[in-house]
Chain A
Amino acid sequence: MVIAFVYAAFVITFDHILGALIPKSLLTMYMFFVVSGVFMVFTFDEEKTKELVAPIKALVEDPSKKMIRNLVFVIIPLGAAYLTYQSQLPSLEPPTEARAQHPAPPSTMKAFGKRFNLMTLENPLRKLQTEDPEAFKAHVKAGGEIYIQNCQYCHGDKLDGEGPFAPGVNPLPVNFQDVTTIAQLTESYLFWRIATGGPGLPKEATPWISAMPVWQNFLTEEEIWQVILFLFDYTGHKPRSWE
């Protein structure tokens, strides 16, 4: 009972409440420890062990339980046979593609025919926020227009990663509203991700499947910085900085 409870608790918390499936191998490992732990507690002294084993022993050895015994003797081997058969079938589960979500950026990147140092790169428009709020607002607006013409198809009108084309791409588009995405990143990181797109990802982030276009082919440098202003402005998140 304890074991069933722990198993159910694991499955419910992770799969349903947190919405993150636990890998099967990990769950098997945890459950192994839980089962052994429970077993150890129940077989701590001899009396308890006897108590635990008694019903099983009785089933096999007590002649009055012959009927149930015969039944159990049929069911257990059949069950084992079924499990063995299933495990021997060729797998139709596709290979898993482990993927780094926010891979470490390179120290420098090439785009627009020049080299950018990502450690020192800053959004050149950011300073207008304090120096010239009107001009800043105009840049945010321009960024919004670029976003709606190019990005909403996947990342959504609400910037929630649920645009109309989202279900047709894999991996799914990033949800900018989520606090674990752009709120954790610097503007230079976003510049790198937008300018070089999916193909610019390092290998651990599976660049061959990302549907993120290489935006330096479609947008200017300034337009990318404008979109970045818009992303933070709309969601209310603050970009990370090096200080």
Chain B
Amino acid sequence: MKNLMFSALIAGICVAGPALAAQGNAEKGKEIYMKRCVWCHGEEGDGGGAAAERLNPPPRDFTSGLYKIKTTGREDMVPNDEDIFRMIKYGMPGNFEPGKQPMNPGGSAMPGWGDILSDQDIWDLVAVVKEFSEYTEEKPETQVDYGKQIPSSPESIEKGNKLFHEGERCTECHGEEGKGSAIKALKGDAGDRTWPRNLTKPWTFRGSNDPKDIFTRITTGIPGTQMPSFADPESKKSLSIEERWHVANYVNSLAKKDKVVNPSNTVIQAALLEGDLPMDPNDPQWDAAAQTTYYMVPQFIGKERHFTPANDTITVKAVFNEKDVALLLEWDDRTKSIPGDEMAIKVTDPDEVYEDAVAIQIPAVLPKGVQKPYFGMGDPSHPVNIWQWKAGTTESPETISLMNSTGFANIEKRDAAKAGIEVKSAYSHGTWKVVMKRPRTTGEADKDLQFEEGKFIPIAFAAWDGSNNETGSKHTMTTWYWLILKAPVGARPAMTAIFVAALIFGGLVWWARGAAIARKEEEAAA
């Protein structure tokens, strides 16, 4: 009997535990809030902290009571307490939950706090956050109905693919290939510019790209943004539970597999090709070269700085022959920004459309020792060579320009044609591809890097999204990486290997033979 009562007590505590914790102590939470959260979310919880203007997405305004990531039914404005708890503990995207994305330039600035705050601390914060809105007392009445989860399979993905495109259901904003390239100007509830999610970059998903999370977003929509609910029976784009699972599986399958950052991959290996190098970005000859992807971050070292990028990665391939070297630069850009272009001015104020652009930076002369030029456009004793492509306007075609610089303010404009630099670009469904080609040697060896085989050449990249206010010093960029023209292997390694193998084999045979002769002699002697 006593035992039974004890068990009941334990069970009672277990059941009540989360509920008790969920109450949270707003008074204790306030102290934590004022130390950790106030900087972005503000003293009043209205998202008006000091950082607000330099963050996109902006910090959440708790007074609105609206939350983007929630699991309550679509009719319910208030989230579950657990939804707020999860966002605080794991961040957006979750930066330390096992298997989740770390903080990255494409993510939001909200980190996960679970490594320095206890669960009780976080429940206390949930209480604080809720008190900022007048809907504190409101309890959610409905929950997302998940039905029975349909596991991902080629059939399910194919069904999802159809539903995604049918009647422009999702492509209206997310584009044909899910890269968010459809031309629509979207705004968030704070009047902030929002971009439709590039669904091929799961590391930028605020609430993870697990099919269940995607299902939830499709079901509830993303409150405070123009992402609607697809569970609304009134909508002609509405989807059944089963259909939503198919779309979730399809969206999950869109994740880029090959164009993702691998931090240990710091070398671009240029492949040796026979014959002329391809100028067409879609030429199959590019398949011969390995591709490398790097993070791009906004330019924040020189005036004017940039804080709200629209792109976060660039993928590079390189090829060469005896005469030339060519690079293929590929990056996602939702908008083909060509000033004057009808499509471009649909999403951005016509006066604020600039040309899309991309640039590579290499030292003007290969450094002798370890010291490289300063990665931000070189330094007085180490000039850099910059090749910049610009998309052009409706009145002028695309351009390639060549500059040598020894710092932000010391730029010498040079003649790209004289150095033999050629360029060709292609834009398709939210992706730019640009090929730049130059002879390996030029007439000015003191001003243009001469490309030699087998040498590690420092290389860096920059890109401009002209529909995201990026022009001049406002752009995204990488730090230094390496380019190497892979020298042909030649016969030496193979010859040496054969020689070593023969030597060892000979030695072993000699030993065995010697032993056999000795044994025979012994036998003969016996």
Contact surface of A with B, Cβ cutoff 8 Å: 60-61, 63, 69, 73, 76-78, 80-82, 84-85, 88-90, 92, 94-95, 97-98, 144-149, 152-153, 156-158, 162-170, 197-199, 203, 206-209, 211, 213-214, 217-218, 234
Contacts and interface: CB of A to CB of B under 8 A. Distances in A.
B371 A90 contact: no
Given A80-B501, A148-B39, A211-B375, A164 B104 contact: yes
26 contacts: A60-B515, A73-B512, A77-B500, A77-B502, A78-B501, A80-B500, A81-B497, A84-B496, A84-B500, A85-B494, A85-B496, A90-B487, A97-B370, A147-B39, A148-B39, A148-B51, A149-B50, A153-B297, A158-B115, A168-B294, A168-B297, A208-B372, A208-B382, A209-B375, A209-B480, A218-B303
Contacts of A90: 454, 486-487, 489
Nearest to A207: B374
B501 A211 contact: no
B251 to A, nearest CB: 23
Contact of A168 (B454, B478, B492): B478
B509 to A, nearest CB: 7
Contacts of A69: 512
Contacts of A214: 301
Contacts of A95: 370, 456
Given A84-B493, A163-B103, 7 more contacts: A76-B508, A144-B39, A157-B111, A162-B111, A165-B297, A208-B372, A209-B480
Interface in B496-526: 496-498, 500-502, 504-505, 508-509, 511-512, 515-516, 519
B39 A145 contact: yes
B49 interface: yes
B379 A208 contact: yes
B218 interface: no
Contacts of B509: 73
Interface of B: 35-36, 39-40, 49-51, 54, 95, 102-105, 107-111, 113, 115-116, 261, 263, 266-267, 269, 294-298, 300-303, 305, 307, 312, 370-375, 379, 382, 454, 456, 478-480, 482, 484, 486-487, 489, 492-494, 496-498, 500-502, 504-505, 508-509, 511-512, 515-516, 519
B377 to A, nearest CB: 11
Contact of A82 (B116, B294, B371, B497): B497
Interface of A is mostly: helix
A242 to B, nearest CB: 30
B295 A156 contact: no
B379 A77 contact: no
Contacts of A145: 39, 50
Given A69-B512, A209-B479, A80 B504 contact: yes
A115 to B, nearest CB: 21
Given A77-B504, A167-B263, A209-B375, A152 B479 contact: no
A143 B391 CA distance: 42
Contacts of B115: 158
A175 to B, nearest CB: 12
B45 to A, nearest CB: 16
Contact of A211 (B110, B261, B382, B479): B479
A96 to B, nearest CB: 9
A85 B493 contact: yes
B103 A166 contact: yes
B102 A94 contact: no
Nearest to A89: B493
Q: Which one of B35, B375, B492 has the greatest number of beta carbons of chain A within 10 Å? A: B375
Contacts of A144: 39, 50
Contact of B371 (A78, A170, A198, A203): A203
B479 A170 contact: yes
A227 to B, nearest CB: 12
A157 to B, nearest CB: 5
Given A61-B519, A209-B480, A88 B105 contact: no
A153 B307 contact: yes
Q: Which 10 A-B pairs have the closest CB atoms?
A: A88-B493, A145-B50, A168-B297, A81-B501, A168-B295, A61-B515, A148-B39, A77-B501, A85-B497, A81-B497
